[in-house]
Amino acid sequence: MLRTILLARTAPSPENALALEQYARCLQYLMKDMRLIQDGINEPSDSLLIGTAALASHGELRSKRSMAADPRVQISPVAKTQNIDVYSSGQMEPVHMQAFYLLASQRGGLQACQLHGLADILEIIDLCFATRALAIPQFESRHTTFLVQLTGTFNFDAEAQALLQRFGEAFLESAELQPLHLTIHHMRTVVAALDQYVREGQKPASLPKLLQARNAVQYLLLSVSARKSASDTADCLVDMCRLGLLIFSNMVLFPLPTESGVAEMLVGALRGRLLESHVLEGHVDIWSQRSDLLTWIVTLGTMAATSTAYSQWYTQYLADMMPVGHLPGWHHLEETVLSKYAWWKYTCSNSGEGIWLESTLICERNNMQKAISGVKNGLNI
């Protein structure tokens, strides 16, 4: 049914006409099953669940833009795994989503699924729904044990060990970011294992185990509650880091396509939090003590915003926060600042360097204009 929905949206052809006919027939069967359930004659079936999930995740396409159009953006090697790109290409349909979760509950949850692999598919669809809504997944994660197994039994090679030790260390050293420590601990394990897999290092983890572990990490990340306070410094910091980690995951671990709207929603929410931080009491002291954290947050936000309406705002914001005088080189910044937060060079380096250089040019131009204005004022020109 997923294939017929996608084909039906493309240009007219004999194949697409047949797809439309099949799509209409599928809808008839679904409606018939729904009526039988409402009349108390039948129970929800596995076929009905997957059909309803397909309808819920495949409304009209939001956009035909793709992050691949920007040459600076390195597509994650797991971007098309488990069909997460397929389940996130169209608008979510709230009515069908409600029906999907209601039917799943009546069915008895994922454990009641009988078709082989269906529980895994529905869990992925639930994660896609939750990611696009920035909400806690409806189904409980069934793969948290894979995180423990990956941490305790996997043999990391030297490069992966170095990444494992460096990734997230700045988060783990901060007591005020304690609500994120467990997620960071597991996220760095999965990123290090993914790095070893992509490099074809010594005895890498299998892709199925990696994907199960990354799904568990995405579940943990989505389960971190949003801090709603706009006046509490600690809440504001935790929430900006939570959004930063979600942006990183959307680039690396659980990357949904631009059409899903996730990147635009995340950078929009982060922009709101950045603006709020400037009206907090003592906001200058907050960032003077955490300049590295701010650099990581804004750099990630600027990278994620390249295909959104917020691109220019982030580029200018990054330029405005650069120090007057000597600007740090990209490679120095990457090694000494960004790498101690959430960072993976495979997907982040090229895009990060591009936006950093662009913001650096804007900063230098602004500084030059200020210097010229200062000279003119001194000469009373």
DSSP labels, 313-362: HHHHHHHHTSPSSSPPPHHHHHHHTGGGSS--HHHHHHHHHHHHHHHHHH
The reply to whether 216 and 104 lie within a common domain is no
Walk along the chain (381 residues) in steps of 10 and give the mean pLDDT of each run: 49 53 63 66 74 70 46 81 84 77 82 82 89 90 70 82 94 92 94 94 88 93 81 84 96 91 93 82 68 93 91 91 73 94 94 90 76 60 57
Kindly state whether residue 110 falls inside one of the protein's structural domains: yes
Cα 83 from Cα 256, distance rounded (Å): 10
Q: Of the candidates 203, 225, 247, which is a domain's last residue?
A: 225
The reply to whether 124 and 148 lie within a common domain is no
Instruction: Provide CB contacts within 8 A for 124, sequence distance 6+.
Output: 82, 83, 84, 87, 215
Q: Of the candidates 133, 152, 181, which is a domain's last residue?
A: 133
The reply to whether 190 and 111 lie within a common domain is no
Kindly state whether residue 54 falls inside one of the protein's structural domains: yes
Using DSSP's 3-state secondary structure scheme, residue 61 falls into: strand
Kindly state whether residue 209 falls inside one of the protein's structural domains: yes
The reply to whether 148 and 193 lie within a common domain is yes
Cα 310 from Cα 317, distance rounded (Å): 11
Domain hosting 124: range is 2-58+93-133
Cα 186 from Cα 146, distance rounded (Å): 10
Kindly state whether residue 356 falls inside one of the protein's structural domains: no
pLDDT at 215 (0 to 100): 93
178-206: string of b/e by CB count within 10 Å (b at 16+)? ebbeebbbbbbbbbbbbbbbbeebeebbe
Kindly state whether residue 275 falls inside one of the protein's structural domains: no
For the record, the structure tokens of 324 come out as 């007057």
Instruction: Provide CB contacts within 8 A for 103, sequence distance 6+.
Output: 37, 44, 48, 49, 52
pLDDT at 375 (0 to 100): 58
The reply to whether 127 and 154 lie within a common domain is no
Dihedral pair phi/psi, residue 61, rounded to 5°: -60, 135
The reply to whether 107 and 145 lie within a common domain is no
In tens, the pLDDT along 231-250 reads 678 888 899 999 999 999 99
Q: How many domains is the chain partitioned into structurally?
A: 2
Residue with tokens 């669940």: 49
Cα 143 from Cα 120, distance rounded (Å): 10
Q: State the CB neighbour count (10 A cutoff) for residue 328.
A: 15
Dihedral in degrees, nearest 10, Cα atoms 303, 334, 344, 277: -50
Cα 318 from Cα 306, distance rounded (Å): 13
Residue with tokens 């806690």: 136
C-alpha distances out from residue 285 to 6, 195, 231, 233, 282, Å: 52, 37, 15, 11, 5
Strands (E), the chain: none
C-alpha 122 chain-centroid distance: 19
Cα 146 from Cα 47, distance rounded (Å): 28
**H or E element that contains 159:** helix 158-166
Instruction: Provide CB contacts within 8 A for 332, sequence distance 6+.
Output: none
Dihedral in degrees, nearest 10, Cα atoms 255, 257, 262, 263: 80
pLDDT at 254 (0 to 100): 96
The reply to whether 42 and 158 lie within a common domain is no
Residue with tokens 């894979």: 146
Q: What angle do CA 96, 138, 132 make, to 5 degrees?
A: 65
For the record, the structure tokens of 41 come out as 């004659």
The reply to whether 38 and 129 lie within a common domain is yes
The reply to whether 157 and 128 lie within a common domain is no
For the record, the structure tokens of 298 come out as 């804004």
CA neighbor of 214 nearest in space, from 199, 198, 236, 238: 198
Q: Are 65 and 258 in contact (CB under 8 A)?
A: yes
The reply to whether 128 and 152 lie within a common domain is no
Q: Of the candidates 74, 107, 133, which is a domain's last residue?
A: 133
The reply to whether 153 and 98 lie within a common domain is no
Kindly state whether residue 345 falls inside one of the protein's structural domains: no
Cα 141 from Cα 126, distance rounded (Å): 10
In tens, the pLDDT along 346-375 reads 999 999 999 998 988 888 887 676 666 655
Kindly state whether residue 53 falls inside one of the protein's structural domains: yes
The reply to whether 99 and 206 lie within a common domain is no
Q: Are 200 and 192 in contact (CB under 8 A)?
A: no
For the record, the structure tokens of 3 come out as 């294939």
